[in-house]
Structure 1
Amino acid sequence: MSDFQPQLRTVNVIRYVTPLREGGSLPAIAEADDEFLYVLKFRGAGQGLKALIAELIGGEIARLLGFKIPELVFANLDTAFGRTEPDEEIQDLLKASVGLNLALHYLSGAITFDPVVTTLDTKLASQIVWFDCLITNVDRTPRNTNMLIWHKELWLIDHGASLYFHHSWYNWQEQAKRPFAQVKDHVLLPRASELEAVDTEFKTILTPDKIRTIVNLIPDEWLTKGFENETPEAVRDVYFDFLTTRIASSDIFVKEAQHARESLI
């Protein structure tokens, strides 16, 4: 058995600092009872709990693969929190998000990655493209890179738009073996010249035991809506089966990425 045992801390949100008005999800900077600031992702926003699941799974797979990811924590929101919030939209969001949410450690002073300013080596670019193809991450484009430079290092953030198969739950087997057509828009695709080597490397890291450990992090209370009355155990099994099938079939998305790259260069 693997000794890979990731664990997420649980914090209590004590102060809503400011909204981050990006898209329709309205994440926020918030302070927790450990005195740290976090980017708080709300269960009551946008795609709701499925976005939190994608954020959790995507973030922890990225960490396992060696990427720099802000610490993820479970963030508990009390029923009393936000009663004094004057903005009705935000107050409604807070009321809809009572319970367990997800938060990322806030990287104060980080700047958005700009490929014109910062050129990544081809190995790292290939690793990120491969990872995003695996989790079907549509949010790594020139318009919205979802990468930050912090302390002169590259950090990956925001994987809530990944794993979009779970929005149409019953054809996951078919979707697990699909190429990732949106890779053509990936901001790092022009630099991703080492995909085959990365494929070999990453498949040795992402063993079924490690994928199962990550999937098992999903809290039961996130698996009660939107899954057609499946048990939490059955839902976790689908995520596990989707990911392990996709890893085993990675040559499909690698070839798609290579073809898309050839059309650019």
Structure 2
Amino acid sequence: LVGNEVAVKLFSAVEKGDLEAVTQILKFATADDVNHRASYENERTALVMAIILDNLAIAEAILTHPDVKPNLPNKYDVLPLMLATSRMTDLLLSHPKVWTDVKGVERSFRVACKEGKLELVRVYLACGELNINAHNEDGVTALMLAACYNFPLVVEALFNRPDLDVNMQTFDGYTTLTRACCGAKELPHIVQLLLSHPKLNINLRQQNGSTALAYACVAGRKKSVALLLANPTIDVNLPD
């Protein structure tokens, strides 16, 4: 571990799960000490180590330090929130400094949806501050990721939020439904689930004019095509 003596002791105490030692060290730890990143541990901080070990008591103690930076990523740009269990996520989201990086919170939420971590997703959804429709640099939302990675239970959990925009489009015009209709493999149960949402617009078109039906036909997704055609709101006469 490269760094001053206090940082070394703090990191060691966290690794050992020694809450008493951590508490004592934090009393005289500086901002540099508490936020020091270990060179041999993917540049993790003491807080991140506590998160990885799922030691709630130690993480809570570190978060009480006035100079802690709870959003520091490791060298791979992985945020502390992305490594947390559901109970640890709940703790982190209750800390005001975590919300100074709203984009980081939103990115962590999308990762949880993409990985199908339902319990974790529910913790995020319980936060009123969370923008459920936040997108990445390509316009991809949490709903799109949950649907396209085939996590129907996560999709259903997202449906429970009244502020969900089921018709959001990526910057090139794809909707969640369109992506589900033309992905690498057919996802009829996801398509059916999306069609059950009362606010879904089945006829939204991409920038090139194509609808979800057109994409499903081109991709040869017979089950998805059948589901789309069975929907009473479908307009089969829309031109490409």
Establish whether TM, by shorter chain, passes 0.5: no
Q: Which one has the bigger strand percentage?
A: 1
TM-score by length of 2: 0.25
Q: Which has the higher contact order (CA 8 A, sep 6+)?
A: 1
TM-score by length of 1: 0.24
Which protein is bigger by CA-based radius of gyration? 2
Q: Which one has the bigger helix percentage?
A: 2
